[in-house]
Amino acid sequence: MAKKSPAKKPRTINQQFTSLEGVVRAGFRQVDARFRQVDARFKQVDARFKQVDARFKQVDARFKQVDARFKQVDARFKQVDTKFSSVHLEFRDLRKEMNERFTTVEDRIDRLATHVDGFMKLHETLDIEVRVMKEQMNRFEERLKHLETAQVS
């Protein structure tokens, strides 16, 4: 004859609350771990923005040098124009070269703008993730409040 196993005893409220508390704490630990990951990612993004800011400062300084150089070139052109009005072909070639340099500078600026757009999209994505996690935390808090209210009752 097979032995009958004794009937399973129903869990007490304290056991149920203890089990539920363990689940909630595990959830909070997971959320905390995710927040630490997001914080680490934000630190990486911040560091990258600092690098980009430093690069922009270098680019700005270079633009100032280029601007100063262009001012010098313009002054020289005025002198040459007044002295050598017969040399227009050489000036056209030089202006064409300057326009090509402007195009190169504009291309570089466009590439930098593309990188900044990528960082902005990343920032937006991380911001959405933070909002989702905050909503999860709010739901956990609401559930915990309901449990606490039920436990008090």
Query: For residue 27, is it within any domain?
Result: no
Residue 105 lies in a domain: yes
The Cα-based distances of 129 to 14, 22, 72, 124 in angstroms read: 35, 25, 52, 9
pLDDT tens track for 96-132: 999 999 999 999 999 999 999 999 999 999 999 999 9
On whether residue 146 sits in a domain, the answer given is: yes
Q: Give the count of domains, the chain.
A: 1
Domain range enclosing 100: 32-152
* Domain-embedded: residue 21: no
Q: Is residue 20 part of a domain?
A: no
Among 107, 126, 131, 149, residue whose Cα is nearest residue 48:
126
Q: Name the helix (H) or strand (E) containing 24.
A: helix 13-83
What is the per-residue pLDDT across 67-102, written as a single tens digit (0 to 9) for each?
A: 999 999 999 888 877 777 766 777 788 899 999 999
In a domain, 24, yes or no: no
Whether 89 is in a domain gets the answer yes
Pick the range with the lowest mean pLDDT from 8-12, 30-34, 114-118, 120-124: 8-12
Residue 122 falls within a domain, yes or no? Answer: yes
**Range in 11-15, 40-44, 137-141 with the lowest mean pLDDT:** 11-15
